[in-house]
Chains A and B, each alone.
Chain A
């Protein structure tokens, strides 16, 4: 039993150190970039939800397709263009400039959405 306990603590110590290091490094990153904001758009039933999403500059927006049919998210001004997202596939884009970005699904163009970056 004692031997076993020792083995656990032997593993636990490096794990603990690693965790502390991780915490430290993430804090450093957080300080350099006060917010690394993220936002999500779900593609469900041939609809981008939310249809209009308002986010701060620097936000990474991730689209996830939960439909049984493939979709895309393509900026009408050519700013971004996803690959084809099959079921449960994702696409991310980081918005570094303020503005209103209209986009649509190039496969089903009736599907439209907007990202407002402030």
Chain B
């Protein structure tokens, strides 16, 4: 198994080296994205050289700031794949609270709830209240907009956002943009941003210096992972065309309940594990439904994503860590 994983990592790095981008140019553009990326394709224990070298008490050391991404809490889900999603979210929060460097904030990339029920949102709030990082930014998942076109979600988590819940903010020189790609979905399609939001995004990025690091986050991946399961966003190309001129772009998504990474030019894409239940790797199961793993394995396929940013070295490290280790 470890060899297989190493092979995968080597292959990924090789792919990266053969992508036609001039190495020097690539390194320059990728300086912020750095070398700490985790090249793991699916659930299981992720490995990265940076992670393996010394995650633990030194994690985040030297970083100018750290933030954490959590995703797909699905509060209210109670099927065999995880009968207690509140407990695993709590474990995730405990893990965040135990981090040696307190994150400046948390980003939740959607599917807070299973059925958009008020009681589910209440439970989520209760658990999140215990997080050491008090500021949490949200984008909705499709499960959060099931009943009322997302009205309740917006009231609770979308204060100050535009449209169906998109917004942007700056933090210590980094520009963050939260996008919504789960509203007004069209028959036969995948995720969708829609013209109004795309227009807003274009304006939001206009006039910003190309050296500003950009972080885009949204629920459904903004890159096409597996169209048969709807794992992509129909109009993401348009959105990504607006960030092309920036030297460093990081895209953080959820929805697929497993880690996937890709680097394309100056843009690095990353999907996070769920805090609730794993989903199968693309095409390995009849559907994308919840995957049941033995109970003692569950915490190895759920997790959080910790992002460290170093201004001086302009480096970003995305480190995924499972709940159980």
Contacts and interface: CB of A to CB of B under 8 A. Distances in A.
Interface stretch (A9-17, A32-40, A56-64, A108-116): A108-116
The prevalent SS among residues of A at the interface is loop
A87 B79 contact: yes
B194 to A, nearest CB: 13
Interface residues of A, number: 22
Contacts of B230: 108-110
B147 A69 contact: no
Give the bracket for the number of chain B residues in contact with chain A.
20 to 34
A55 interface: no
A61 to B, nearest CB: 17
A46 B114 contact: no
A66 B305 CA distance: 32
B290 interface: yes
A76 interface: yes
Given A84-B147, A109-B189, A110-B189, 20 more contacts: A45-B287, A45-B289, A46-B229, A46-B288, A68-B77, A68-B81, A70-B114, A70-B115, A72-B146, A84-B146, A86-B115, A102-B187, A106-B185, A109-B185, A109-B186, A109-B188, A110-B227, A110-B229, A112-B187, A112-B188
16 contacts: A45-B286, A46-B229, A47-B287, A67-B287, A67-B289, A68-B77, A68-B289, A84-B116, A86-B115, A103-B187, A107-B185, A109-B185, A109-B186, A110-B189, A110-B190, A112-B188
Interface of A: 45-47, 67-70, 72, 76, 83-84, 86-87, 102-104, 106-110, 112
